[in-house]
Amino acid sequence: MEILFELLTKFWYLWLLVIAAGILEVFMPKIKGFLGEKSVIFLLSGLDKTKYKLINNIMLRVGNKTTQIDHVIVSNYGIFVIETKNYKGWIIGKEFDDNWRQVIYKRKEKLHNPIKQNYGHIQALKEILNDFGDINYISIVAFTTRAELKVTSKTDVVYSINLPKTVKKYKAENITDLVKEDIYAKLISLNVDSKETRKTHVKAIHKTLDEKDIKVSRDICPKCGGKLVLRNGKFGQFKGCSSFPKCRFIAK
């Protein structure tokens, strides 16, 4: 016992390192996410400020719901709505899939299609900015270089380091400086910065995803309420909505 106590006191710094390593492992995903977000902000902040006005991590209330958007750029070329993801491994998916796949060696996980997620953000912005008439909304999904993209899509799905180049490829001006400033001011004024509201928003997202999984497990289509049936496809059997082609939901 005395020898054990002596070892503990003599090599106390090793125990501190073990504890620190354990804490770092727990918080590493959040740290990587934070650093990834900051790097995107750094890249986008280099855009010409006379043409592009950047808003990061904006939350807007639409009716009795809230929507959180990673980055919005109000520009003379339209409104860029950017969804950023910090996944690693292969990211496999198509434009209209409900879910995409993340593949790390033999492990496969599903993630909600970020293009559809961003479509929801754009619809919310359209409702909020309906006074401004016909505005060009440009959806961009950006992944860090930890991922290897294997995505088929007309919507821009790019690596975050290519964000400035992707934004600048849109060159047709359709918003005047005055309208651009008005849109930017309105979005800033409507930004919800309450921590409690933001926590509620995250809980609502998790609840919606849980409810969807429960319905699928009961062979109920979460999109239209129809029955999910087993079908044969090119790559084997899958569960799809019995209301096809009216409803194209596929359980993945």
Annotated domain spans of the chain: 15-193, 195-252
Please give the share of the chain, as a percent, with pLDDT higher than 90: 49
Alpha carbon distance 224, 183 (integer Å): 35
Contacts of 230 (CB under 8 A, 6+ apart): 237, 238, 239
Alpha carbon distance 148, 185 (integer Å): 37
Q: CB of 159 within 8 A of CB of 82?
A: no
Q: CB of 75 within 8 A of CB of 135?
A: no
Contacts of 248 (CB under 8 A, 6+ apart): 96, 240, 241
Q: Is 36 in a helix, a strand, or coil?
A: helix
> CA angle, corner 147, sides to 146 and 153, nearest 5?
150
What was the pLDDT predicted at 203? 57
Q: What is the pTM of this model?
A: 0.68
Reply yes or no on whether the pLDDT at 45 is more than 70. Answer: yes
- Kindly indicate the confidence band of residue 225, based on its pLDDT and cuts at 50, 70 and 90: confident
Q: What b-and-e string marks burial along 88-127, b requiring 16 or more CB atoms within 10 Å of the CB?
A: ebbbbbeeebbebbbeeeeeeeeeebbbebbbebbebbee
117-176 tens-digit pLDDT:
999 999 999 999 999 988 999 999 999 999 999 999 999 999 999 999 999 999 999 999
What was the pLDDT predicted at 239? 76
